[in-house]
A and B are shown apart, each in its own frame.
Chain A
Amino acid sequence: MRRCRAWFTAGVVAAGGVSLAGCGGPLSALDPAGPAASAIAELWWVMLIGATALFVLVMALLLWTFVRRGDGGASPKLWLVGGGLVLPALVLTPLLGYGLLTGERLLAHAGATDVVRVDVEARQWQWTFRYPAPGGTRISVNELHIPAGRPIDLHVGSADVIHSFWIPRLGGKIDAIPGHVNLIRLSAGQAGTYRGVCAEFCGTGHTMMDFRVQAHDADDYAAKLRALPQDGR
């Protein structure tokens, strides 16, 4: 919410009407609650401002060609080199670098400390979460428990068709593909309840295939895990 507010002024100028209220919501990527989602939301606001500026520029040029008086002036080469090559190069190169660096930061790099592992198994139409621990793996269905403030490595697989694991307020999505296990690192800044959904169409139950995310403080988390049933598998 704070991030949204910080960009609020610029956002209004740029988008011309995206209001603060418009950014909220239990599944809003614009209301980030973790570092990954924040980084991406920031990327979005930067791109929105840039895109709006470019759009206004192109439309203004277009309008100018109709209302101008006299000769068009600029030589053809200037249009082609300036608009076709220089402008995209100036815009795209830094953007690409920014995007790749952001993406690189969000990856689940080895060597991070204090990482919590959760195994996610999607199937039509429910989510099963397994928490490997020395005392035996715990299990929960359609409710994911994580400790707040720690990086979580989610190992996502599927038992049947392709699904996609997505908690918009915490970060991007990762597909759950049968025969493969994909890894995504997420983190919740504060304790609280978040929501996740299946983002990849997976049949008639796709709409209903959502789950709750409970981020706990450290002590609560340990207690909650102990209260979960043991994995019978």
Chain B
Amino acid sequence: MMDARIDQPAAATSPIRLHKQLDALWGTPGGWGRLAAVNHTIVGRRFIATAFVFFGIGGILAMLIRAQLATPRSAFLGPEIYNQIFTMHGTVMMFLFAIPMFEGFAIYLLPKILGARDMAFPRLGAYGYWCYLFGGSMLLIAMAVGLAPNGGWFMYTPLCSKAYTPGINADIWLIGITFVEISALSAAVEIIATILKMRAPGMSLDKMPLLAWYLLVTAFMMLFGFPPLILGSILLEVERAFDLPLFDPTRGGDALLWQHLFWLFGHPEVYIIFLPAAGMVSTILPVLARREIIGYSWIVISIVALAFLSFGLWVHHMFTVGIPHLALAFFSSASTAVAVPTAVQIFAWIGTLAAGRPQLKLPMLYLLGFFSVFVVGGLTGVMLAIVPFNWQVHDTHFVVAHLHYVLVGGFVFPMLAAAYYWLPHVTGRVPRHSLGVPAFWLIIVGFNVTFLVMHLTGLLGMPRRIHGYGAETGWEWPNLVSSLGSFVMAIGFALFTVDVVMHWLHGKRSPRNPWSAGTLEWATAVPPPNYAFASLPDVATRTPLQERPDLGNHLARGGGYLGFVRHDWLETLGVDVMSGRVEQIVRLPNRTLLPLFTALVTGVFFVAVLFKLYIVALLALPAIVAMLLAWTPVSGERCDRGALPIGNGAEAVLHSEAASPPSLWAMGLTLAADATAFASLAFGILFLWVVAPNWPPPAMIAWAPASIALAVIGLLIAFAASRAATSRRVIGNGSRRESALAIALLGQIVALVGFAGVIAAVPPPTQHAYAAATKLILIYAALHAALGVVFAGFGIWRSRTGYVSQRRSVDLRIGALWSDFTAAIGLATLLIVYGLPRVMG
């Protein structure tokens, strides 16, 4: 047992000394040590820099497209190369630029605007970054050797099925993007847990900066939006690799299933990209208008409404696939309704400008660019939501123009504004504006010249994704205009890049808070130290820095909470979700190479799947699990410590002893994403049954009463035993809780045996989509039981090594959550597998 005295903090004597102590602990060494960085400032910067490189690559691809289309019957690129280039342009911009760029901004800014020292799961952020880098590199390498995906960025089946794309190109998309999406899901979990649990004391939900609301809603959308895409990618890869005919209409599959799964992700994706950018607008604009934003609660309600609506209108990408008009009417109404929450935000911004005294500083110039471009995109979006008009312009250059107005207007311009706004924070230097203004004009003029005329090109009948056209079509001059404009825009972006590099190298030293902003990120020194805040503030309003301009110095002197170093721990505070009351001390892990190594092993898995080395892939899976288990020892405590002082006379328990530590939230959120993937698979089965041709299937699953009974009994035993292990009476006693966990482990094994028996009763899965989908959903459930074995074993290991007590119950509660979930989806699976054939006759 530790002596209680040791838990008392060592008092720091001066701000400099406190800085040195904290920096030694939180800092990342140079050289190879950089690979071990897990700090949010570093990981966030890496995300942003890498995403910007991908933006440049995507931009070069765009230039190639415009060069090809500048003249009729161009012989510059043949169709094979052209198809790869436009597929990669879309893929890079969507998956390797926009989403990671937002993740980078979120990871860099979130702890600072919330008044925390780091994200809730720094190692997860680093792991996500490596997955993004490796997955993105796979796609780039494929492009360099001429094997890039070539089916368009939405990868429609059956064009991307084996029969019509026999090469490796489509596999690279499916596997590379799924690899990258690990970073999206991990970022979603991390962002939500951080926003809900890791705010400054006193920052209740209604005192959060708006940006945090935007990022929270966005992260929730990612949590529910990405699973359908990941599931769809897995299904398509399984079809390509093992001939399971999920999308093959001749064997009971359906090409439209892919479209539903893809757009179920793909439409929310647009708002996932737009909302963080809108959050930046809502942050920057009031500062430069010198007035608090109007309609805070209106905006919060709007973005929540937008998030819900965005999941209900994916079908507007499918107005021409032959869905009944009545259904289209519903999706058309939902699509136009999206204009309402968007309009609320637009007018909240304009109203803020009207009520304030706006300054036309450089970020504001880019915000005006955002307004003009995004409003056009919104208006053409309403047009596209009108069904008959959509029938004409769907899949034409009108849509290409529209989506660029929305994405460049709704994402790139706010990001450029954000870059100029937060650059002093990142670099500690004040930008020299000399190049920012000409860059703006080149970009905005170039953009409008490129894309305004493209609406007309589409109305004149030019479809998307063609690599040439005849002069008689009348598409010659608008295409030439677009191409000329695009090169002007490219010069603008090059100028922006030069400007950023120049002032990074040669800018003047920036004072703290150069914009006189009110949010907490400007209370750090610039550039920020790794620990962000030397002590944590008490927050009573939405703009703490406005009320207390000297807050930064106060915190640097250690005047807030945790203004000390204790046991070489990396500490920050965890709060109650609603009220922001202090609840726990969150001990964060220090720099480590584990995320990098785990990502490398994950990479081995994906590369093995790509090259069909399934033995290697199967060996990599347990290796990944083992690596992840190696993360856990530093995230727990081996003794009960009780409440510890946090400064200012307050105290709190460590997260390992808290009622709702961030890790428990992470588990709940992960299961929510998991449940979405499961629901998507179940939807897929029902969809095939109702819509796909060539049903009913030739053979149904055989009745396997013994195996079903085993599976049910095993699931229930595991569920009951894991729950029992966390109960007050059992958890306090080492041998009792270990016995309960051992029973849970056995239960999961019994369930696995049961599922194996049921899986054996499925007809050959290559015969019909029914058998394929049935087999897959059973495997899905069985995989959960298998991981249940790992969780139960983990619980026993943690108990044996002293990490569990009646107060330190989180490890077992996480395991119990897993068994609850496994039991729920296991039983649901059996119901679907045996119930659906009876219901559907």
B321 & A29 in contact (Cβ 8 Å cutoff): no
Smallest CB gap from A32: residue in B: B392
Stretch from B218-226, B428-436, B463-471, B565-573 that touches the partner? B463-471
A178 & B255 in contact (Cβ 8 Å cutoff): yes
B159 & A88 in contact (Cβ 8 Å cutoff): no
A219 within 8 A of B: no
Q: Which of A183-206 contact B (CB under 8 A)?
A: 183, 197-206
Distance between A25 CB and nearest chain B CB, rounded to angstroms: 3
B630 within 8 A of A: no
CA distance A177 to B691 in the complex (A): 13
A112 within 8 A of B: no
B388 & A102 in contact (Cβ 8 Å cutoff): yes
B322 & A84 in contact (Cβ 8 Å cutoff): no
Residue numbers in A under 8 Å from B466 (CB-CB): 206-207
Known contacts being A80-B347, A96-B386, A161-B164, is A174 close to B320, with CB within 8 Å? yes
Query: Of the candidates B159, B255, B474, which one forms a contact with A24 in the assembled complex, judged by CB atoms under 8 Å apart?
Result: B474
Chain A 34-51: CB-based contact to B (< 8 A → 1; otherwise 0) = 000101100110010001
A29 & B379 in contact (Cβ 8 Å cutoff): no
Q: Which of A68-98 contact B (CB under 8 A)?
A: 68, 72-74, 76, 78-80, 82-85, 87-89, 92, 95-96, 98
- Residues of B contacting A: mostly: helix
Query: Of the candidates B329, B368, B389, B469, which one forms a contact with A47 in the assembled complex, judged by CB atoms under 8 Å apart?
Result: B389
CA distance A64 to B351 in the complex (A): 11
B325 & A104 in contact (Cβ 8 Å cutoff): yes
Q: Which of B442-472 contact A (CB under 8 A)?
A: 456, 459-469, 472
Smallest CB gap from A79: residue in B: B351
Stretch from A128-136, A139-147, A162-170 that touches the partner? A162-170
B295 within 8 A of A: yes
Residue numbers in A under 8 Å from B392 (CB-CB): 29, 37, 40, 44, 168, 171-173
Query: Of the candidates B340, B353, B355, B386, which one forms a contact with A88 in the assembled complex, judged by CB atoms under 8 Å apart?
Result: B340
Residue numbers in B under 8 Å from A27 (CB-CB): 460-462, 473
Residue numbers in B under 8 Å from A29 (CB-CB): 392-393, 459-461
B360 within 8 A of A: yes
Stretch from B51-59, B132-140, B331-339, B745-753 that touches the partner? B331-339
B409 within 8 A of A: no
CA distance A124 to B79 in the complex (A): 14
B354 & A72 in contact (Cβ 8 Å cutoff): yes
Distance between B437 CB and nearest chain A CB, rounded to angstroms: 16
Chain B 353-371: CB-based contact to A (< 8 A → 1; otherwise 0) = 1111010100000001001
A83 & B394 in contact (Cβ 8 Å cutoff): no
Query: Of the candidates B152, B256, B295, B379, which one forms a contact with A80 in the assembled complex, judged by CB atoms under 8 Å apart?
Result: B295
CA distance A200 to B319 in the complex (A): 13
Known contacts being A80-B344, A161-B164, is A96 close to B320, with CB within 8 Å? no
B346 within 8 A of A: yes
Smallest CB gap from B467: residue in A: A207
A83 & B340 in contact (Cβ 8 Å cutoff): no
A84 & B340 in contact (Cβ 8 Å cutoff): yes
CA distance A68 to B354 in the complex (A): 8
A59 within 8 A of B: yes
Smallest CB gap from B478: residue in A: A22
Known contacts being A55-B375, A79-B347, is A204 close to B694, with CB within 8 Å? no
Residue numbers in A under 8 Å from B371 (CB-CB): 58-59, 62
A99 within 8 A of B: yes
Query: Of the candidates B158, B254, B351, B473, which one forms a contact with A74 in the assembled complex, judged by CB atoms under 8 Å apart?
Result: B351
Chain B 295-306: CB-based contact to A (< 8 A → 1; otherwise 0) = 100100010000
Query: Of the candidates B158, B360, B390, B693, which one forms a contact with A160 in the assembled complex, judged by CB atoms under 8 Å apart?
Result: B158
A85 & B462 in contact (Cβ 8 Å cutoff): no
CA distance A88 to B469 in the complex (A): 39
CA distance A39 to B388 in the complex (A): 9
Distance between B320 CB and nearest chain A CB, rounded to angstroms: 5
Known contacts being A79-B347, A164-B395, A179-B254, is A62 close to B321, with CB within 8 Å? no
Query: Of the candidates B354, B396, B468, which one forms a contact with A73 in the assembled complex, judged by CB atoms under 8 Å apart?
Result: B354
Query: Of the candidates A18, A30, A199, which one forms a contact with B396 in the assembled complex, judged by CB atoms under 8 Å apart?
Result: A199
A121 within 8 A of B: no
CA distance A35 to B256 in the complex (A): 30
B825 within 8 A of A: no
A175 & B321 in contact (Cβ 8 Å cutoff): yes
Residue numbers in B under 8 Å from A200 (CB-CB): 156, 395
B143 within 8 A of A: no
Residue numbers in B under 8 Å from A183 (CB-CB): 322
Chain A 89-118: CB-based contact to B (< 8 A → 1; otherwise 0) = 100100110111011101100000000000
B460 & A74 in contact (Cβ 8 Å cutoff): no
Residue numbers in A under 8 Å from B473 (CB-CB): 25-27
A62 & B255 in contact (Cβ 8 Å cutoff): no
Smallest CB gap from A102: residue in B: B388
A100 & B348 in contact (Cβ 8 Å cutoff): no
Distance between A120 CB and nearest chain B CB, rounded to angstroms: 13
B694 & A30 in contact (Cβ 8 Å cutoff): no
B516 within 8 A of A: no
A61 within 8 A of B: yes
CA distance A88 to B817 in the complex (A): 45
Q: Which of B500-557 contact A (CB under 8 A)?
A: none
B329 & A100 in contact (Cβ 8 Å cutoff): yes
Distance between A188 CB and nearest chain B CB, rounded to angstroms: 16
Residue numbers in A under 8 Å from B709 (CB-CB): none
Query: Of the candidates B348, B386, B389, which one forms a contact with A79 in the assembled complex, judged by CB atoms under 8 Å apart?
Result: B348
Smallest CB gap from B376: residue in A: A55
Residue numbers in B under 8 Å from A37 (CB-CB): 392
A83 & B343 in contact (Cβ 8 Å cutoff): yes
Query: Of the candidates B347, B353, B395, B461, which one forms a contact with A83 in the assembled complex, judged by CB atoms under 8 Å apart?
Result: B347
CA distance A178 to B322 in the complex (A): 12
Query: Of the candidates B343, B394, B460, which one forms a contact with A28 in the assembled complex, judged by CB atoms under 8 Å apart?
Result: B460
Residue numbers in B under 8 Å from A99 (CB-CB): 332, 386-389
Residue numbers in A under 8 Å from B681 (CB-CB): none
Residue numbers in B under 8 Å from A197 (CB-CB): 461, 463
Known contacts being A179-B254, A199-B463, is A103 close to B387, with CB within 8 Å? yes
B387 & A84 in contact (Cβ 8 Å cutoff): no
A3 within 8 A of B: no
Known contacts being A178-B255, A182-B322, is A201 close to B333, with CB within 8 Å? no
B322 & A177 in contact (Cβ 8 Å cutoff): yes
Residue numbers in A under 8 Å from B497 (CB-CB): none
A160 & B164 in contact (Cβ 8 Å cutoff): yes
CA distance A166 to B391 in the complex (A): 9
Distance between A61 CB and nearest chain B CB, rounded to angstroms: 5
A5 within 8 A of B: no
A228 within 8 A of B: no
Query: Of the candidates A22, A61, A65, A87, which one forms a contact with B358 in the assembled complex, judged by CB atoms under 8 Å apart?
Result: A65
Residue numbers in B under 8 Å from A23 (CB-CB): 460
Known contacts being A95-B336, A203-B164, is A174 close to B464, with CB within 8 Å? no
Among A18, A47, A61, A103, the most chain B Cβ lie within 10 Å of the Cβ of A103
Distance between B738 CB and nearest chain A CB, rounded to angstroms: 55
B382 within 8 A of A: yes
CA distance A68 to B794 in the complex (A): 66
CA distance A110 to B382 in the complex (A): 30
CA distance A106 to B383 in the complex (A): 17
Residue numbers in A under 8 Å from B328 (CB-CB): 103
B298 & A161 in contact (Cβ 8 Å cutoff): no
B187 within 8 A of A: no
Among B158, B302, B380, the most chain A Cβ lie within 10 Å of the Cβ of B158
Known: A198-B463, A199-B463. 19 other contacts (CB 8 A): A29-B460, A40-B391, A44-B392, A54-B379, A66-B358, A73-B354, A78-B351, A84-B298, A84-B346, A85-B344, A88-B340, A103-B328, A162-B159, A168-B392, A172-B394, A175-B322, A177-B255, A177-B321, A179-B693
16 A-B pairs with C-beta separation under 8 A: A22-B456, A28-B461, A40-B392, A55-B376, A76-B355, A79-B348, A92-B340, A96-B333, A100-B387, A161-B156, A172-B388, A178-B249, A197-B463, A198-B463, A201-B395, A204-B79
Which 10 A-B residue pairings sit nearest by Cβ, starting from the closest? Answer: A172-B391, A179-B249, A27-B461, A83-B347, A79-B351, A84-B344, A25-B474, A99-B386, A76-B294, A182-B322
